[in-house]
Structure 1
Amino acid sequence: MTDKKNQVSRRQFLNYTLTGVGGFMGAAMVAPMVGFAIDPLLKGQKDTEFIYVMDVSEITNEPQRKTFKVDQVDGWYESQVDRTAWIFKTEEGNILALSPVCTHLGCTVDWASNEQYPNQFFCPCHNGRYTKTGVNIEGTPPTEPLHAYEYKVEDGKLLLGKAKKR
């Protein structure tokens, strides 16, 4: 005698089978997409890479605009992009390398480009102003100083790393 309570009908068997196969196929389709999305997050961050910019003997007390190339990785796309720094020696004789990116809205600042403010960094987009050492002037749009690049000197050469908040 067969016990009908524990038997699976043909309809239930097909239902279970199709649900399992559909779930497996769905997971097979979604897994690569999830892997693609989170893989860049799982990759380790490189230590700060320092790039040669100029010889220390070339640095003056007047800010000089220097452009250099850095390697950039966006997900799997690797490229070289231009970075710019304003480099000079402070009154104390220390090297200062400032990012030209305005901390207000990300425009580019220029040194002594406005006749009204001859010894200041000036952002023409919103009249943002900074002192020679990159400190934002009160009453102008920027809310923080220009970021400064990490640097080191090796064999008389100036190497710059990442720009950091001060």
Structure 2
Amino acid sequence: MSNKVTRRQFLNYSLMGVGSFMAAGMILPMGRFALDPLFQTDAEGDEIVTSVKVSEITEEPQKVDFTFTQQDAWYESEVTNFAWVYKDGNKLIGLSPVCKHLGCTVTWAGDDGNPDMFFCPCHNGLYTKDGNNVPGTPPRGPLDEFEVGEKDGYITIGKKKENTLV
């Protein structure tokens, strides 16, 4: 009994081996891409300390800037954003400045006809002080809310969530 490998068997083994390496070369990166988010740590829950003191906040919404580090693949950058923060009794409320209609930036008292509302200049959208969209104007939903806290007398901004005030 001879254990010689024929040319046909050698070619078959060679092509199967090369094909397996090529398939693994395509499947492994796709698997890594699919599973990588499961192993990432969630840094979004971190609170960002701002430079605004809690004692400076009144019942009228004020613009509070905050900066955080954003990682895009291998590029790391500083991103500046802001929230509309005000006091409701002893509670601090923070609302997102992003309109739910087209993503434009809303302003407090930006419309002379509605001085006690948030105004979106893109399509004249209006929101009440608690972020609820005014019926008959373009916004499709209430403004998102930020988790707001206090640390050493300064305002902290946490992650964004759906509006719980309306």
TM class, shorter-chain normalised? Answer: 0.7 to 0.9
For the pair 1:115 / 2:135, whether they are aligned, the reply is no
Structure 2 counterpart of 1:57: 55
Q: Between Structure 1 and Structure 2, whose CA radius of gyration is higher?
A: 1
* One-letter amino acid matched to 1:79: S
| CA deviation after TM superposition for structure 1 residue 155, in Å | 2.5
Structure 1 counterpart of 2:93: 96
Which consecutive unaligned segments of at least 5 residues does structure 1 have?
none
- Give the share of equivalent positions with the same residue, in percent: 47
Which consecutive unaligned segments of at least 5 residues does structure 2 have?
none
Structure 2 counterpart of 1:160: 157
* Equivalent residue in structure 2 for 1:66, among 64, 70, 75: 64
Change (3 A) 1:163 1:33: same
Pairing 1:42-53 to 2, within 5 Å after superposition? 42-46=39-43, 48-53=45-50
CA distance in 2, matches of 1:121, 1:27: 55
Structure 2 counterpart of 1:33: 29
* One-letter amino acid matched to 1:134: G
- 1:117-152 Cα offsets, whole Å, 9 max, x none, are 111101011221001221111121212211111021
Structure 1 counterpart of 2:15: 18
- 1:38-77 Cα offsets, whole Å, 9 max, x none, are 4641322236111112111111222111211012233443
* One-letter amino acid matched to 2:130: T
CA distance in 2, matches of 1:122, 1:98: 13
CA distance in 2, matches of 1:100, 1:47: 18
CA distance in 1, matches of 2:119, 2:54: 26
Change (3 A) 1:64 1:57: same
CA distance in 2, matches of 1:49, 1:79: 17
Give RMSD over aligned pairs: 2.4
Q: Is the 8 A contact 1:102 1:142 kept in 2?
A: yes
Q: TM-score, normalised by structure 1?
A: 0.83
Q: Runs of 4 or more off by more than 6 Å in structure 1?
A: none
CA distance in 2, matches of 1:64, 1:162: 18
Q: Is the 8 A contact 1:67 1:82 kept in 2?
A: yes
Structure 1 counterpart of 2:6: 9
Aligned length: 161
CA distance in 2, matches of 1:77, 1:32: 24
CA distance in 1, matches of 2:36, 2:99: 28
Q: Is the 8 A contact 1:40 1:75 kept in 2?
A: no
